[in-house]
Chain A
Amino acid sequence: MNKPVSLPLRSPASGPISFAPLPVRTHVIREGEDIVEIAQKYTEGIAVSGDVICLAETVVAISQGRAILPEKIRPGWLARFLSRFPGKDGSLATPPAMQLAIEEVGVPRILAGCAAAAVGKLLRKRGWFYIVAGRELAQIDDIAGTMYPYERHIILGPKKPEEVVRSIKGATGVDAAIADVNDMGCVDILAITNLRLIPAVEKALKANPFGNEDEQTPIVVLKRVD
């Protein structure tokens, strides 16, 4: 999904758009649950037109059955070799996660990504692996990257996030987004129903209202406050 070039973001009343985040506590979402129904149920009476319903990418992926136990993966020699190179605090540091990455995008793209990463390293530029191999690989949460009871799983990025947000908007009448956010202030919007809202949504999610621990708040309603 391409981000728009910087548009002057203004509300109809001509002030800048801003949101207040309202985290919503949910049950532990599991494989096979309908994420659109879940979003509708927990935001009913809270989210209205002008707001944005944001979902943490991990729970969308879990509901889609994309949480995988490493015991079920047989890492090949390439995965075992390549997993030595990425940053150890990020994704793809274990052979099973690297094997899943290979299965997601194929060997040629992974190798092209590695070549790009090597060039990037020489030029002291980071992130070239993901630019070439595929942005979706950055969304893989390696072992212990998410909360109990999924801490033993590797969580792949969600499938078809654009379809999910469109369905949520269709069911609720409210704009929706899927985001990957961490405690270091990095916000990655995977999909959103209104591209013009991206800067304001990113700003509102910067403090990670989803939480990164036991909070159990994978849905955040951004209430329009401008």
Chain B
Amino acid sequence: MQALIPRLTNYNVRISPGGEFSLLVVESLSPFKWNFSCPQPGLARLEVQALANMFLGPLEPEDGIIKRTEAFLQGEKVVFQIELEEPVEAVGEEHPGLPFRLVLKFPRYPLQRFYRDKIIVLDPGHGGGDGGWRGPVNLWERDMAWRTAMAFAKILENLGARVEWTRGPEENPPWEKRSAVTREAVCFLSLHYYGDNDPAVRGTRVLYNPRSPGNRELAQRVLERIIRKVKTPFREMAPDAELAGLGNLTALRLEPATITNWVEEGMLRNPYFHQKVALATLTAIKEHFKEGGVVE
């Protein structure tokens, strides 16, 4: 009969394939009783009557909806405290089977509302015959900048935003052409990977448009979120003279990693790296504007 006692085995947070929901998934050997409540805006609580075989340590998805979850034992229950970045209401769905799954679905409409119909300009920093820096094994900055740009585009399209590109993969227009963007654009993101002759140099850098109000603060947010998400060290945050040419437009140049570093080149092979950079950046941008950043 021991096997019939509900025992939690796993929990994780992920985004649904279409991007509509942040999902908190709790898995168990067998079905369990649960109770879900929202004791205050921005805080949700799930109580589960079960034993816990799994590690109960926290998760920090920071996906724009779920900021952090913490699980702990309270009497004969396992309690999940869910800190939200947006006060959304979730629904729970049971999925019978082995493992038995409880899926809490947190809608991502605050992000969709913010990005819907907004124009975001994506500028992969290199293309065509211009490969940029080359990693010590074999990766080119051009290819990685494009991979990251595609991760941005996928998320933005799921959120209903309009993506404008400064170039095609085989094109190599000068900066003057790439920076001639539509006046309706909300944000310009130039995507690069840093390179250095010293292979020990590593880390993340974000440059910003010094002429755009609040861009320094935005750069700080983006940098912090990327570092927390992909676990790279801080390298630099600084104004960028080229971006200043964009006038008041919110504009960042992202260098999420240093491609000439052995470790960081290896990290770029992982497709999740690019998704994490894109999600961290877009979440920070939304957070920035929500908290009073100016949309010019």
Contacts and interface: CB of A to CB of B under 8 A. Distances in A.
Interface string A166-203: 00000000000000000000000000000000000000
B99 interface: yes
A76 to B, nearest CB: 17
Interface in B135-149: 136-138
A94 B272 contact: no
Contacts of B57: 27
Interface residues of A, number: 35
A22 B9 contact: yes
Contacts of B113: none
Given A45-B5, A144-B267, A216 B55 contact: yes
A182 to B, nearest CB: 12
B27 A22 contact: yes
A152 B267 CA distance: 9
B53 A24 contact: yes
Contacts of B265: 144
B53 A223 contact: no
A162 B153 CA distance: 47
A43 B53 contact: yes
Q: Binding site of A, secondary structure by majority: helix, strand, loop or mixed?
A: loop
A52 to B, nearest CB: 14
Contacts of B27: 22-23
B99 A22 contact: yes
A142 interface: yes
Interface residues of B, number: 31
Given A22-B29, A94-B136, A42 B54 contact: yes
Contacts of B262: 70, 94, 96, 143
Contact of A26 (B55, B99, B137, B264): B55
A44 B99 CA distance: 16
A72 to B, nearest CB: 13
B55 A46 contact: no
Nearest to B100: A22
A111 B57 CA distance: 46
Nearest to B268: A144
B168 interface: no
Interface string B1-33: 011010101111000000000000001010000
Given A23-B27, A93-B137, A148-B231, A46 B266 contact: no
Nearest to B28: A22
A97 to B, nearest CB: 10
B98 interface: yes
A25 interface: yes
Interface in A60-97: 70, 88-89, 93-94, 96
A213 B11 contact: no
A45 B51 contact: yes
A215 B128 CA distance: 37
A46 B29 contact: yes
Which of B2, B3, B5, B137 has the most C-beta atoms of chain A within 10 angstroms of its own C-beta? B137
B282 to A, nearest CB: 19
Contacts of B264: 144
Interface in A134-180: 142-145, 148-149, 151-152
B263 interface: yes
25 contacts: A20-B97, A20-B98, A22-B99, A23-B9, A23-B10, A24-B53, A24-B54, A26-B54, A27-B55, A42-B53, A42-B54, A43-B53, A44-B53, A94-B136, A94-B137, A143-B262, A143-B266, A144-B270, A145-B266, A151-B266, A152-B263, A213-B272, A215-B12, A216-B55, A223-B98
Interface of B: 2-3, 5, 7, 9-12, 27, 29, 51, 53-55, 57, 97-99, 136-138, 231, 262-267, 269-270, 272
The 6 closest A-B pairs by CB, nearest first: A144-B266, A25-B54, A20-B98, A143-B266, A88-B138, A25-B10
Interface of A: 20, 22-27, 42-46, 48, 70, 88-89, 93-94, 96, 142-145, 148-149, 151-152, 213-217, 221, 223, 225
